[in-house]
Amino acid sequence: MPRQTFPPVRRVAPGVDLLCVCEPRFKRALLEIHVEVPLDGDSPARTLLVSVLEQGSAGHPSRLALARALQEAWGADLDLWADRNGEVHRLTTRVSWVGESLLPAGADVVSGLLPLAREVWEAPRRGEDGRPFRAEVVEREREHLVKRIRSLRDDRAAWAEQRFLAHMCADEPYGRPPWGDEAAMAAVTGDDLERVRLAALSGGRVLAVAVGPVEEEPIEEFLAEWFRDRAEPPPLPAVVQRRPGERREVREELPGEQARFHYGFRCPLPEDEAGREALLLGVSVLGGGVHSRLFRKVREERSLAYGISARLRSRKGLLTVAAGIQAEHADEVRDRVDAELADLRRAGPAQEELDHARRQLEQRLVALSESPGALAAYLVREEVLGLRRAPEDRRAALRSVTPAAVAAELERPIPDTVYLLAPTQP
Amino acid sequence: MNSVETIVHPQVREESTRARAENGAEVVVVRRPGFAVSAAHVGLRFGSNDLRFRLGDRIVEVPPGSAHYLEHKLFEGRDEKVFDRFARIGAEFNGGTSFTTTTYYFTASQAFDAGLDVLLDFVQDVLLTEERVEKERGIIEQEVRMYDDHPSFHGVFLLHRALYHRHPIRHSPGGSVDDVRRITVDHLRDCWQAFYRPENLRIAIAGDLDPEAVLARVEGMLRPAVLTPPVERLVVEEPPTPAASLLEEDFRVTRPHVYVGWRDPEGPGLGDSGLRRRLLGSLALDLVFDLASPIHEDLYQRGVVDDGFRASLSVDADWSYAAAGGESDEPERFLAEVAGAAESARDRVREDDFERVRRAAFGRLVSSLQSCSAVAGHALHAMLQEVAPFAALDLLAGLRFDEVRVRMDELFREEHRAAAVLRPEGG
């Protein structure tokens, strides 16, 4: 492992934290800067903002100019995106570059890249007549996004997941797609973009993570300089936790080949470390891979699905199960999920099942040391959940989980919504 | 093991040991001190394109999707499911079937030797019965349906049918649901007998391992060569120009999906010359369609393409094509403008563009070789393409601007072009 402990969290500016793991063995370095704000009515504007910022800056006034700068830097990448993480709208800027030890002597990549990441946010290319952005760029990127929103249903799997979350979490921020809908996106103006840009930079909570052949000090100085003038941002709102009543069953139809099945449970994370690990192992035994009950019963025994899996959406507190099936098998798959969960609650997993799940999770924790991207994602997740656990500590905690503890924690998920996107009936 | 050779690759700072087993199988071990997760990949040149072959004195024809079906069945194991065997040591594993290859791999942070034994055991032993084959059918049908719901998947294979008259690349690796329903245990047995021969295996291993000990273990696991009955792939004769200039279909899409492709008259073959041609094609495509290309920028600024526009190269021994595609409300304009831009690009690219694109390609390639699984996967792919591990880096460094221009001229020609359009149903 590159580090046996969770790296120290450096507060480099008000509301700006940095996690850094210097690991020269990684061939590629990355710096991710996550700006977190609430998922709200401004989310469509932020989604469009990210697209517009990628179209050029004052110093690199086109998408082409930015792309060329990255090619010059030996295939560096600068990516911006906005997504939903729990009930937060997360705006991510990721810069990655080849470790300079692999490049010809004297190659200097990083000194130009960090300012570039700042430049796209701080000095976007302005429009004529004092407009915050070029009107034709705003119009073009907005139109692209409107069309993309209109086409979302073409990807059946992604569409089904979005519809499932919209039904299950109706009236909760998590149920709203961050890009909004066509009308909301079409109404975004250039002034809106400038407002949400400034608000994100001044009022978003910033978490930066640097991993790989990097030096902490220059990155710390870079972030401190960038964000030095901001005030402490407000805390993010608490996650909405709704206690479900009767389980709801929702069926929608769309032309297609395969039905998409989703089953959602409310499942807030346990407060204690042992409980969290037991719940995670329980979800793994239920549907965490080829060792799981659902994979074996639904796929291997009944040949009903190519894949079926369960996952914990920790930040929101949901357990969800998903599978691609024939629509006529939906009730059987739902009942199988219920039956396996009930059995695990009653009798706990067999020791062998628990061992398989534990070994898989342990291997994934060890594998964090082999991938800068996976390690960065792990560090960010731990930090936003307020857990800050070192992978090695988690491995030790996993080893002490018993079948009885798993059974107890699996009492936690409460059925909420069963959703099926079925092919349209002829 | 015969002909053991150890090479240090300074560009990627990797040390690889190549060997040939007594039975003819090839092995590469990349020693990576300090890495906690080791990986082993095994593969063979048998893929979904192998639909017709001579096995002894018989000519065998199998439905599309047979290689993929057989890959599924190998995971069942003879006596115990491969899932269970790997789960016991906490290994992650998977397999994949491409047009020309089938591969299997695992990664493990403990009990690597035990995992290697499992891997090399199940790829050399299979139990195929009617009951076992039948049980898998529903699972594979669901996998095929999953892909069939993706417009881009459907569109790419429509383009393949426009580009090629008879080449098996017209079929997706998994086949159609109807194909899957036609596959029998006898088809799979014939495929197994013809191609899953120990001497055909290519094995790549990377980790904090002793190469000598690993090679000895591999040698101990490999079974003797199976040289009879003789096998001959029966190659379909493919005309050198596209089958259709344009194919259109109605599909479940909101906006038209448009694809344009340019095929070479024939594939580049294997070995260094094939890889060299592949790299030249890849750089040519970057020069035309990468975000840093003024040609792409012009198409974007004028609204011909949007941010979903993508370009790619697909190459193996006996086919090669470049393609570009995206969504467009004006498919005819998209096709005319994208095709025109590519076919006139040769005179618009400059040497400094080439150097910049090559530099970026080097950086991306060298830094993609991070995890042991990535390194082993790269080494296996190299063996299956009959080139040395990391050969791409050396070849890339030696390419010249004039060669890329020639390659652009060869590839982006109207007479090599075909297109496919998915139009909204009822639109």
Q: Is B182 exposed, middle or buried (CB count within 10 Å of its CB: 0-12, 13-18, 19+)?
A: middle
CB of B83 within 8 Å of a chain A CB? The answer is yes
* A234 assigned to some structural domain: no
* B142 contacts A27? CB cut-off 8 A: no
pLDDT confidence bin for A4, thresholds 50/70/90: low
Q: Are strands A248-254 and A414-423 parallel, antiparallel or unpaired?
A: parallel
pLDDT confidence bin for B1, thresholds 50/70/90: confident
Cα–Cα separations (whole angstroms), residue A395 to A362, A386, B73 = 6, 18, 34
* B146 contacts A27? CB cut-off 8 A: no
In angstroms, rounded to a whole number, what is the distance separating the alpha carbons of residues A41 and A180? 8
Measured between beta carbons, which residues in chain A are less than 8 angstroms from residue B181? none
pLDDT confidence bin for B426, thresholds 50/70/90: confident
Q: Return the higher-pLDDT residue of B1 and B257.
A: B257
B264-297 residue pLDDT tens: 999 999 999 999 999 999 999 999 999 999 999 9
- What is the per-residue pLDDT for A105? 87
Is residue B80 over pLDDT 50? Answer: yes
* A196 assigned to some structural domain: yes
* A1 assigned to some structural domain: no
| Structural domain harbouring A363 | 248-423
* A68 contacts B356? CB cut-off 8 A: yes
CB nearest B146 (choices: A67, A98, A258) = A258
B10-59 residue pLDDT tens: 888 899 999 999 999 999 999 999 999 999 999 999 999 999 999 999 99
The answer to whether residues A219 and A359 belong to one domain is: no
Measured between beta carbons, which residues in chain A are less than 8 angstroms from residue B357? 71
Q: What CATH number does the domain containing A45 carry?
A: 3.30.830.10
- Which of A309, A363, A392 would best serve as a mutation to test chain B binding (most B beta carbons within 10 A)? A363
- What is the per-residue pLDDT for A131? 92
User: Looking at residues B100-122, what average pLDDT do you find?
Assistant: 97
Is residue A30 over pLDDT 70? Answer: yes
Per cent of chain A over pLDDT 90 is 93
* A277 assigned to some structural domain: yes
* A116 assigned to some structural domain: yes
Measured between beta carbons, which residues in chain B are less than 8 angstroms from residue A324? 142, 145-146
* B307 contacts A371? CB cut-off 8 A: no
CB of B305 within 8 Å of a chain A CB? The answer is no
The answer to whether residues A380 and A292 belong to one domain is: yes
- Residues B4 and B26 sit within 8 Å (Cβ to Cβ): no
Measured between beta carbons, which residues in chain A are less than 8 angstroms from residue B297? 62-64
User: Looking at residues B345-365, what average pLDDT do you find?
Assistant: 95
* A400 assigned to some structural domain: yes
Is residue A75 over pLDDT 70? Answer: yes
Q: Which of A227, A257, A277 is the last residue of a domain?
A: A227
- What is the per-residue pLDDT for A286? 98
Measured between beta carbons, which residues in chain A are less than 8 angstroms from residue B425? 255
CB pairs under 8 A between A and B: 176
Q: Are strands B202-207 and B38-44 parallel, antiparallel or unpaired?
A: antiparallel
Measured between beta carbons, which residues in chain B are less than 8 angstroms from residue A76? 363
- What is the per-residue pLDDT for B4? 87
The answer to whether residues A222 and A254 belong to one domain is: no
DSSP state of A297: I
* A257 contacts B148? CB cut-off 8 A: yes
CB of B81 within 8 Å of a chain A CB? The answer is yes
- What is the per-residue pLDDT for B11? 84
* A360 contacts B37? CB cut-off 8 A: no
* B143 contacts A144? CB cut-off 8 A: no
Measured between beta carbons, which residues in chain B are less than 8 angstroms from residue A255? 252, 425
Contacts 24+ apart (CB under 8 A), A78-85: A78/A113, A78/A116, A78/A117, A78/A120, A80/A50, A80/A53, A80/A54, A80/A120, A81/A50, A82/A43, A82/A46, A82/A47, A82/A49, A82/A50, A82/A178, A83/A178, A84/A39, A84/A174, A84/A177, A84/A178, A85/A36, A85/A315, A85/A384
The answer to whether residues A140 and A210 belong to one domain is: yes
The answer to whether residues A194 and A283 belong to one domain is: no
CATH superfamily, domain B2-233, is Metalloenzyme, LuxS/M16 peptidase-like (3.30.830.10)
- Measured between CA atoms, the residue of chain B closest to residue A352 is B88
In angstroms, rounded to a whole number, what is the distance separating the alpha carbons of residues B380 and A291? 27
CB of B304 within 8 Å of a chain A CB? The answer is no
Q: How far is B2 from chain A (nearest CA, A)?
A: 32
- What is the per-residue pLDDT for A94? 98
A345-365 burial code (b ≥16 CB/10 A, e <16): beebbeeebbebbbbbbbbbb
CB nearest A370 (choices: B37, B140, B292) = B37
**Residue A234: is the preceding peptide bond cis (ω within 30°)?**
no
pLDDT confidence bin for A2, thresholds 50/70/90: very low
In angstroms, rounded to a whole number, what is the distance separating the alpha carbons of residues B187 and B205? 31
pLDDT confidence bin for B227, thresholds 50/70/90: confident
A117-170 residue pLDDT tens: 999 999 999 998 889 999 999 999 999 999 999 999 999 999 999 999 999 999
- What is the per-residue pLDDT for A3? 47
B305-341 residue pLDDT tens: 999 999 999 999 999 999 999 999 999 999 999 999 9
Number of domains composing chain A: 2
B246-424 in CATH: which number?
3.30.830.10
* A237 assigned to some structural domain: no
In angstroms, rounded to a whole number, what is the distance separating the alpha carbons of residues B122 and A45? 53
B154-180 residue pLDDT tens: 999 999 999 999 999 999 999 999 999
Cα–Cα separations (whole angstroms), residue B27 to A180, A287, B16, B377, B392 = 53, 36, 10, 12, 19
The answer to whether residues A326 and A415 belong to one domain is: yes
Is residue A372 over pLDDT 80? Answer: yes
The answer to whether residues A140 and A17 belong to one domain is: yes
Q: Where in chain B is the domain with CATH 3.30.830.10?
A: 2-233, 246-424
CB of B397 within 8 Å of a chain A CB? The answer is no
User: Looking at residues B208-216, what average pLDDT do you find?
Assistant: 97
Is residue B414 over pLDDT 60? Answer: yes
H-state helical runs in B82-176: 82-88, 112-122, 130-148, 151-163
Is residue B364 over pLDDT 80? Answer: yes
- What is the per-residue pLDDT for A426? 66
Q: What is the dihedral of CA A350, A351, A353, A359, to 10 degrees?
A: 170
The answer to whether residues A263 and A385 belong to one domain is: yes
Q: How far is B173 from chain A (nearest CA, A)?
A: 16
Q: How far is B365 from chain A (nearest CA, A)?
A: 9
CB nearest A303 (choices: B138, B149, B296) = B138
Q: How far is A20 from chain B (nearest CA, A)?
A: 19
Q: Is the ipTM of this complex over 0.85?
A: yes
* A144 contacts B307? CB cut-off 8 A: yes
User: Looking at residues B368-384, what average pLDDT do you find?
Assistant: 97
- What is the per-residue pLDDT for A1? 41
The answer to whether residues A219 and A336 belong to one domain is: no
Contacts of A217 (CB under 8 A, 6+ apart): none
The answer to whether residues A122 and A253 belong to one domain is: no
Q: How far is B344 from chain A (nearest CA, A)?
A: 19
Is residue A272 over pLDDT 50? Answer: yes
Average pLDDT, chain B: 96
Q: How far is A270 from chain B (nearest CA, A)?
A: 26
CB of B359 within 8 Å of a chain A CB? The answer is yes
Query: What's this model's pTM, rounded to 2 decimal places?
Result: 0.95
- What is the per-residue pLDDT for B10? 86
Measured between beta carbons, which residues in chain B are less than 8 angstroms from residue A358? 90
- What is the per-residue pLDDT for A26? 94
The answer to whether residues A212 and A265 belong to one domain is: no
